[in-house]
DNA sequence: CAGTGTGAATTTCTTCACAGCG
DNA sequence: CGCTGTGAAGAAATTCACACTG
C-alpha cells in the first residue's frame, strides 16, 4: 500500500524528535492523510494503539518496518552504468534503507572495473553469478530502452522477482514478477496536467483526476 | 489523471505499428486497464470513437497530447548537479517529451561551468534570472535533502508551480504548487511489500493494497 | 456486427461520528 | 478526557451489460 512508506518516514522523523508515541491526528497531519484513514490503515495492519494515548512509535517503526521488509536486506543489482545507473549506485539512501547495491553491471568495456560509490562496475556476463551468490531479489533497470526487455528476461530467469524500471520500455514479465516503472517524463506530464487543470481544460466531470488534497 | 500518460505511450506505439485506429479493448489490453474504464476515460475527456471501428489514433494522440501539454514546451530547471542531477540533465527523453532543460544549477564552484548533455552548470544564484527569462514552470530538485526546502521556497517565490522532488525531504509549499516526489527507496519498499504479500504477511482484509492486475 | 457510450450494479476507499477504553 | 476502533454513510472508481450506431 502506497501510504506505508509515508507513515514510516513520518514515524522515523517523529521518533527522532524524541516523542514516545503519536496520535492518529498527528500522524495524519504529518502525512497529509485523513485521521480516520490512518486509524483504519493501522488497525487493518494489525497495529493497535492505546486509547487516550496514541500509537507507540517504536512499535510502529518495528511493525511497519517489518511489513516493508526494512528489517532484512533486499540486495539489488543495477543494470546499466550510464549516468542514471551511476547516480543510483551512488545514492546512499539505498543501502541505508535496506537495499544494498550488490553490483552495477554494464557491457561497456571502458566502464567495467570503474568504481562508483561503493560499487565496482562488473560486466553484464557476471550477472548470473552475482545474482546467485548475493541472493539478489530486486533488479534496477537503467539500460537503454532497447536492452531493457532482454535484461529483464535474464533477471527473471534467475528468479529476480522485483524490477524497478527506469527505461521507457514497457516490460513483459511473468505474473509473479513485480514491476514498477519510474519515468521522469511521465511524472512531469502528470504534473503539467494537474497544473493545466487550473486553467481552462474542458473537464467533462467523470475522469477521476486523483487530485484535491485536504478539503 | 495517472492513466493518461499510459494511454499516450500505448497510442504512440500503436501508431508506429501503422495501425489507423484502436478499439477500447486493444487499448485496454495494451495498458492493463479495463476496457470499460478506457471508454469512460476517453468519453469523459471529450474524445469520441467511432462505433464499430474504435478510436482514430492520430486524433487520440492529438487530444491526449494536448491534455498532457505535449504540444507546448514546459521548460524545466534542475537544481543540484550531483550524480542524479547530471543523469537527469543527460536524459534525452526529457526534451523529446516537451521538457527542455533550461538550466542545471549548483553552488559547487568546481561544477559551475561544466557541461552535461546540452546543459551547462550555472551557479544557483543565476536561478532567478534563468527562471524568469526562460519562463520555467517546473523545478526538479536533485539537491541534498537539507537544501530542498530552501530551494523549493526560492522556486515557488519565482512562480514555479510544479516541483518534482527527488530528495527525501517532504516539501511544504502553497496549495497552488504541485509536488510529486520520486523516491527510489520508497519504490523499492513498495515492491518488496508486494513481493512479501505473496508470502505470509498477516493480511487483515481492509487495507487497500492497490495490487492485483487483470482478473 | 464490431465496438462505442452509458445507465445501473458493484466494488473499493474515504470520511463521519460516536461508543467505549485506558 | 483524549484518542482508538469501527459501524454506517457517503463518495469515488470500476466494471458489467446492453441498447444502439456507423
| Helix B145-157 with B127-134: angle, nearest 10 deg | 50
pTM of the model: 0.83
Of the residues B71, B87, B164, the best mutation for testing chain A's interface (the one with the most A CB atoms within 10 Å of its CB) is B87
Instruction: Identify whether residues A129 and A85 lie together within a single domain.
Output: yes
Decide: A12 and A50 in contact? Cβ < 8 Å.
no
Range of the domain at A21: 4-67
DSSP annotation of A202: -
Quick one: pLDDT at residue B198?
56
A81 and A110 share one domain: yes
The residue-averaged pLDDT of B49-72 equals 91
Q: What stretch of H or E contains A104?
A: strand A101-106
Residue B100 pLDDT level (bands cut at 50, 70, 90): very high
- pLDDT, residue A198, reads 57
Average pLDDT over residues B123-152: 95
Q: Which of A67, A89, A106 is the last residue of a domain?
A: A67
The answer to whether residues B22 and B39 belong to one domain is: yes
Residue A148 has pLDDT above 90, yes or no: yes
Q: Which pairing describes strands B101-106 and B76-79: parallel, antiparallel, or unpaired?
A: parallel
pLDDT exceeds 60 at position B205:
no
- Which of residues A16, A38, A67 is at a domain's end? A67
Q: Note whether B95 and B176 are same-domain residues.
A: yes
**How many domains is chain B built from?**
2
Query: Is it the case that residue B138 has pLDDT exceeding 70?
Result: yes
Residues in chain B with CB shorter than 8 Å from the CB of A76 are: 188
Residues 6+ apart with CB under 8 A from A212: none
Q: Stretch A121-147: mean pLDDT, rounded?
A: 94
Q: Are residues B81 and B180 in the same domain?
A: yes
CATH code assigned at A127: 3.40.50.720
A199 domain-assigned: no
Which bases of chain D are under 7 A from a protein CB atom?
Answer: 1-7, 12-17, 20-22
Give, in Å, how far the C1' of D20 lies from the CA of A51.
58
| Residue A146 scores a pLDDT above 90 | yes
Q: Which of A123-127, A178-182, A186-190 has the highest mean pLDDT?
A: A123-127
The model's pLDDT over A29-85, given as tens digits with 9 standing for 90+, comes to 999 899 999 999 999 999 999 999 999 999 999 999 888 887 788 999 999 998 889
Do the chains contact at B68 and A192, CB–CB below 8 Å? yes
Tens-place pLDDT, residues A7-29: 998 999 899 999 999 999 999 99
Amino acid at each position: 500500500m502506497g501510504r506505508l512508506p509515508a507513515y514510516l518516514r513520518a514515524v522515523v522523523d517523529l521518533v527522532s524528535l524524541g516523542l514516545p508515541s503519536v496520535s492518529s491526528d498527528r500522524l495524519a497531519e504529518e502525512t497529509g492523510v485523513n485521521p480516520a484513514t490512518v486509524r483504519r490503515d493501522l488497525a487493518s495492519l494489525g497495529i493497535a494503539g492505546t486509547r487516550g494515548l496514541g500509537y507507540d512509535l517504536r512499535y510502529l517503526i518495528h511493525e511497519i518496518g517489518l511489513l516493508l521488509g526494512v528489517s532484512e536486506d533486499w540486495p539489488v543489482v543495477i543494470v546499466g552504468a550510464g549516468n542514471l545507473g551511476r547516480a543510483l549506485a551512488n545514492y546512499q539512501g539505498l543501502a541505508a534503507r535496506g537495499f544494498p547495491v550488490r553490483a552495477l553491471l554494464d557491457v561497456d568495456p571502458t566502464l567495467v572495473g570503474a568504481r562508483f560509490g561503493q560499487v565496482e562496475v562488473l560486466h553484464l556476463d557476471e550477472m548470473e553469478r552475482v545474482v546467485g551468490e548475493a541472493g539478489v531479489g530486486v533488479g534496477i533497470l537503467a539500460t537503454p530502452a532497447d536492452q531493457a526487455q532482454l535484461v529483464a528476461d535474464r533477471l527473471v530467469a534467475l528468479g529476480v522477482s522485483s524490477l524497478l524500471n527506469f527505461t521507457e520500455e514497457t516490460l513483459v514479465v511473468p505474473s509473479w514478477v513485480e514491476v514498477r516503472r519510474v519515468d521522469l517524463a511521465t511524472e512531469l506530464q502528470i504534473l503539467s496536467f494537474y497544473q493545466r487543470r487550473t486553467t481552462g481544460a474542458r473537464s467533462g466531470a467523470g475522469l477521476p483526476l486523483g487530485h484535491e488534497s485536504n478539503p
